[in-house]
Amino acid sequence: MSDLRPIGVFDSGVGGLTVVKALRELLPNENIFYLGDTARVPYGGKSASTVERYSIEMTDLLVAENVKAVVIACNSASAVALPKLEETLAVPVIGVIKPGAQAALAATRNQHVGVIGTRATIKSGAYERELRALNPQVRVSACACPLLVPLIEEGWLEDELTDRVIARYLGPLVHQGIDTLVLGCTHYPLLVHAISRALPKTVRLVDSARNCAMAVKKLLVQSYLSAPAGNLAGLEIALTDAPDIFLSVARRALQLEIGEVQLREVLHATKL
């Protein structure tokens, strides 16, 4: 059995394209429909109830595209909206938190894992919960790094100032003795070189994009949802607002073939 319907991927913006890149490398025959909520980006500083509401709206748009599975390629949305989406969606849904937590536990030797992400992700405690559910002995040190996404959007990927901001965020985690660091935001793989420079060589990096793609592959195989081998897979991209500057950063840094970008409207009815 095989299934040509696309995998639906959504993110608050275009950061989730790091997950798309990992998916295309791992699943070259799968069609992908990517939706970025650039009209309301970022989710990372917003409240849990607002992020949950936005996530449901984005998922509705993906379901309308007849997707066979939904990937939440956004840590903030995975952290707060996954339970609700698992409960309400008719297709399987995969977030980035659980695959990242599993990979971190496989990587750590001293059972002390660091997590970095947006304010919303860190405040939710989602990684901590997932890590402890899998291993109650694990120690977790978490740090919100709200300046990293703006630095990435500015394109300062290889930059001494970015290095210093990262050093300030990561210093305390290193001092506390982590031996593994989860990049808990889909933008962060674009800073992987800068982040590596701020860490002792012994600290292992866990990239949630790559681990999420592996979880998707496993799900498709187990559920008989894979596309046929030899399928000429396509990538469609839609955004809720005009493409922002990060799209050009992502194109350059990810070397992802991105064709025409579509627009999807989220209509608003104000109410008192």
Residue type (1 letter), 75: N
Q: Which of residues 246-265 bind a second copy (CB under 8 A)?
A: 264-265
Catalytic residue list contains 74: yes
Q: Which of residues 51-70 bind a second copy (CB under 8 A)?
A: 53, 57, 60-61, 64
- One of 26, 133, 161, 221 touching a second copy (CB under 8 A): 161
Smallest distance from a second copy to CB 31, Å: 18
Residue 143 binds a second copy (CB under 8 A): no
Count other Cβ atoms within 10 Å, centred on residue 250: 25
Catalytic residue list contains 185: yes
Residue 237 binds a second copy (CB under 8 A): no
CB 246 within 8 A of CB 99: no
Residue 79 binds a second copy (CB under 8 A): no
Best CA proximity match to 112, nearest among 133, 135, 144: 135
Residue type (1 letter), 167: A
Smallest distance from a second copy to CB 47, Å: 4
What number of chain residues touch a second copy (CB under 8 A)? 38
Rg over CA atoms, the chain: 18
The dihedrals phi and psi of 132, each to the nearest 5 degrees, come to -70, -30
Residue 269 binds a second copy (CB under 8 A): yes
- One of 86, 147, 172, 234 touching a second copy (CB under 8 A): 147
Give dist(CA 180, CA 183) in Å, integer: 10
Best CA proximity match to 61, nearest among 244, 240, 247: 240
CB 82 within 8 A of CB 72: yes
The dihedrals phi and psi of 118, each to the nearest 5 degrees, come to -75, 170
Residues with catalytic roles: 74, 185
Residues making contact with a second copy (CB under 8 A) = 38-41, 45-47, 49-50, 53, 57, 60-61, 64, 119, 146-147, 150-151, 153-154, 161, 164-165, 168, 241-242, 244-245, 264-272
